[in-house]
Every structure is written in structure tokens, then in C-alpha cells.
Amino acid sequence: MPELGSTLRIHMPNAGVYAFYDGRIDGVRAYSERPNWLDDGAYSLGVCSYALISGAEALVYDTSISLAHAHIIRKTLEDAGARRIRVVLSHWHVDHVAGNEVFADCEIIANHLTERALRDHRENLENRDPPIRPLVMPNRIFEDELKLSVGTIDVELRVVDIHSHDGTMMLLPQHSLLFAGDALEDPITYVAEPTRLKQHLADLARMATWDITKILPNHGAEEIIVAGGYGRGLIEATRNYVEKLIKLRENSETADQDLRAFAAEDFRSGAINYFAPYEAVHRENIKAVLSGEAEE
């Protein structure tokens, strides 16, 4: 088994943007042969954290899946000249906050829903396998929207209810570039909150009105991220998938379809790309939707 962090690949998909990508390596596990969240979720599907750098300032978007990964991110930025580093958390899930401790002396920004979720789930996060102990909490909290500057780069943080109720999207308006966390994922979203699908759908519709041309998700195909990101079709593909999940509650005839069949139209259009490990995600999504409580 490779040393944790040794398979991390570092790319610059856009000027001033670092992408720290790991996983999607056939037959390779990063942490343990035992079932665990790091290998069986983030690493197997591929995971990417991002950072902006301009002059002596840097902004990290999610601290990745381990302290080893976070140390590499920080060293890369410092070697590139960053002297002031801040962090933005896209949401509270474990594979996005595992490296927080490495940035404990930095400003760690999160929306108020993320801060609350981290407090509510702190015991669980600190006792996962692997554990996030200690869980370093955000120290700058905002609501709804926040505008920042990183050197000459303008940044807008916007809260959305997609995938998780506490999502923070990072938008670079000068570049029409969106960092989407887990709100958008290739090929399909992971249903973490099955009773909130209608809220997710409403915010996907809102996101579709934003002035963006490229999208960088935290889970997606490495080659597309390296090439500068996804097009706006990823939003529509995600909306289509969520709509079909909602319809399952009234008509479950498509519940037995595999992922290729369930999202066939968007695979054909090229908006999303088939990746076999997401068949398991799709099966779990179907199960979660059909067994979840009805939405208000």
C-alpha cells in the first residue's frame, strides 16, 4: 500500500488555480484494506481539492482527505510564494475537512450551516476510520454570500442546498469559473440527504442562472479537470438525475435500471462520463430515495 499522499497529483487547470487530485487508481487503496470512508468513498471515486494563488496570498478550497494531503497542499502554496493562506470549506463532510488541522493557524471560512453541522457531528467525525481528531473548526462564519479578494482575484462565496444543506460554492466572476464542491459531481450526485431533493432541485435551477462557463467539482474525471473543467451541461445533467430520483417515489419502474440506462441521455450528450464505481453510488441513491421519508 502506498504512503498516504504519495499518489497525489498536482495540476494547474487555470491561471492561478491549483488542483490537488488523488484516487481513481485501479486496484490501489490509500489507507487500509479494511472498509473505511477514505478508500471506499473519496479515494475510489477520485477527489480533488483546489487552491487559488495570487502574489503572496492563497485560498484553499477544502483541506482534502488526510493531514498528509493537507501538508502537501500547504507546502506547494508556500513554495509558490504564499505567505497568507486562508481556507474555505465547501461543506461539512469528512473528506472535505480532514486536513483542517494543518491550517489551524489560518483563517478557516465556512457558512453558518457548515459550522453548526460540524459541531453537531463532531463526535462522529473524530471517531471515524480514519479519525479526524482533533476536528479543527472554522473561525470565520458567514451567511448567504461573502465576497473576498485573493491578490488580484475576486472571489464570491454562495450558499446552496445541493447534495448537502450547507454547500458553499466558490465563484470567480472575472473568469466565469465555479468551484462546485460536491454540489455537482461527474457522473452523478451522491444523495446524502434524500429528504431534501426538492430543495436541491430548486438550487440547481438557481445555479443554472449564474454567469459561469467552466466548473471544477471535487469529484470528477481528472483529465477534464486538468483541461480546465466541465461545461454548464454538468448542471443540467445533475438536474435531470435528481428529477428522475424524485419521480421514483411515484413510479419506481426505473429503480432497477443500472446507471448507464438511468442517465443514458446525458451520457450520450457527453455532459457526464461513465465511471463504473458510480454504479454502487447509484444503487445507494436509489435505496436512500425509496426508503427515505417523504419530502414536505
Question: Alpha-carbon distance 37 to 176, whole Å?
Answer: 33
pLDDT, residue 12, reads 98
| pLDDT tens digits, one per residue of 175-211 | 999 999 999 999 999 999 999 999 999 999 999 999 9
Q: Answer yes or no: is pLDDT of 53 > 70.
A: yes
Q: How far is CA 41 from the centre of its chain?
A: 12
Phi-psi group of 252: left, alpha or beta (phi > 0 → left; psi -120 to 50 → alpha; rest → beta): alpha
Q: Domain segments of the chain: what residues?
A: 9-194+210-232
1-14 in b/e form (b: 16+ CB < 10 A) is eeebbeebeebebb
Q: Answer yes or no: is pLDDT of 42 > 90.
A: yes
pLDDT, residue 296, reads 32
Residue whose entry in the numeric block shows the C-alpha cell 435551477 = 205
Q: Answer yes or no: is pLDDT of 295 > 50.
A: no
Confidence band, pLDDT 50/70/90 cuts, at residue 293? low
> What architecture does CATH give domain 9-194+210-232?
4-Layer Sandwich (3.60)
pLDDT, residue 279, reads 97
pLDDT, residue 249, reads 85
Question: Alpha-carbon distance 204 to 232, whole Å?
Answer: 11
Report the predicted TM-score, pTM, of the whole model to 2 decimal places: 0.96
Confidence band, pLDDT 50/70/90 cuts, at residue 2? confident
Span 226-241, mean pLDDT? Answer: 98
Question: Alpha-carbon distance 23 to 49, whole Å?
Answer: 12
Q: Answer yes or no: is pLDDT of 154 > 70.
A: yes
DSSP per position, the chain: -PPTTTT-EEEEEETTEEEEEE---TT--SS-SS--HIIIIIIHH-EEEEEEEETTEEEEE---SSHHHHHHHHHHHHHTT--EEEEE-S-S-HHHHTTGGGGTTSEEEEEHHHHHHHHHTHHHHHTSSS---S-PPPSEEESSEEEEEETTEEEEEEEEEESEEEEEEEEETTTTEEEEETTS-SS----S-GGGHHHHHHHHHHHTTS--SEEEESSS-HHHHHTT-B-THHHHHHHHHHHHHHHHTT-GGGTT--HHHHTHHHHHHTSS---TTHHHHHHHHHHHHHHSPPP-
Confidence band, pLDDT 50/70/90 cuts, at residue 26? very high
Span 271-282, mean pLDDT? Answer: 97
